[in-house]
Structure formats: structure tokens, C-alpha cells
Structure 1
């Protein structure tokens, strides 16, 4: 190992997705997030209903605000079509139902 930079990292929770957003130059106040099963990408929502996609490139996080129409369901998960710089990313194991629940209050367990 040559010791350049940090090793590749993974996002393991919605909180880590929100923390990764803070590392990017995009101003976005996320209230909830989803993380891909492979830990390489996430999706966040703010109080106004805007959606932001996050992807990891090595140890660096990239973020892009995307319209709802940029999301589509595939067999692998949700595909997010970002701008030219961001590209597209697949949220492995995430379904349209998961995205629909994004930002909704969770029922309390008894």
C-alpha cells in the first residue's frame, strides 16, 4: 500500500449519509435519508421535499440535488440519474416503497 489518501469507505446508516452531505459544497438540510445496501450511495430529503443523491468516490462524497423524475425503479434497486458531473448511481436493494416512506414519521413500537 502506498498510503495515498484514505481507503474506500462505506455509508452504513442514514446518519452517515447526512454527515457525508455536510462534506460536500451542496447546501442541503436533510431530514431523512436512505442508504444503499452496498454502502456506496444514499438518498436524502429535506423539509421542502427536495431530493439529493449522494455517492462515494473513494473516500470522497459527491452530492447532487435531483428532481423526483430522475428516480426510477429497476430490478437491482432505485437508479438516480444525476447531472453530467455526478452521473447515475444505483441504490442497491432500495425499492420505490422505501423512497415513498422517505421523510415520513416512523410508527412507534409498543
Structure 2
């Protein structure tokens, strides 16, 4: 958490943050709880955006961490800033189900060129 403090982020609930970060790797009875990369990314995104672990910047942080998660898994997102803003707002306000969020992400994912 020292890194978080160093960056100037104030965490309201460390448990919520750690829970959100662990959610994509959750399993039940030995099987992944979220079977696809899109569902894993949506789980991370919605947990961070809706549970407000930091005091400020939860929507920005949720989007940046989701992009980083996708990038680490070999994908990047191609969409306009306005489209990204609308998606982040819809997820943060709980207007999209997990499946709808995953579908929205799937439509804009392309393999990273690294």
C-alpha cells in the first residue's frame, strides 16, 4: 500500500481494493468463476468502479486498471474517448450487467501489437 500512498491515492477500504483485484481469478469448485478474458476484465472493472475502494478517482482508476489487465493479457482497447467515458459512467452507475460489460469490452478488444 506504500505505492498507493506514494501516488497520492487514498484508499477508503483496503479489503475492497484487494477483493476487486482478486475477483478476476476467482474460482468455484475448481473452475474459473469468470470463464472468458472479457468476463474477468468486466469483473475487475465493475468491482473497482462500483465499490469505491479509493476516496477519489475510482472511475479513472477502474478504467486504467482494466486497460492494464487487458494489456497484460495481450489485448488493447480501441474506442474513442467519448465511448470510453460513456462505458465507464454506465459501469460505475450500475447500468450494465457483468455480461453486458463483458460484451461491450469484447466489441473493442484487439490483439496488442507487442
Whether the TM-score (by the shorter chain) exceeds 0.5 is no
TM-score of the pair, normalised by structure 2: 0.26
Higher relative contact order (CA 8 A, sep 6+): 2
TM-score, structure 1 as length reference: 0.27
**Larger helix proportion of the pair:** 2
In terms of fraction of residues, the more strand-rich structure is 1
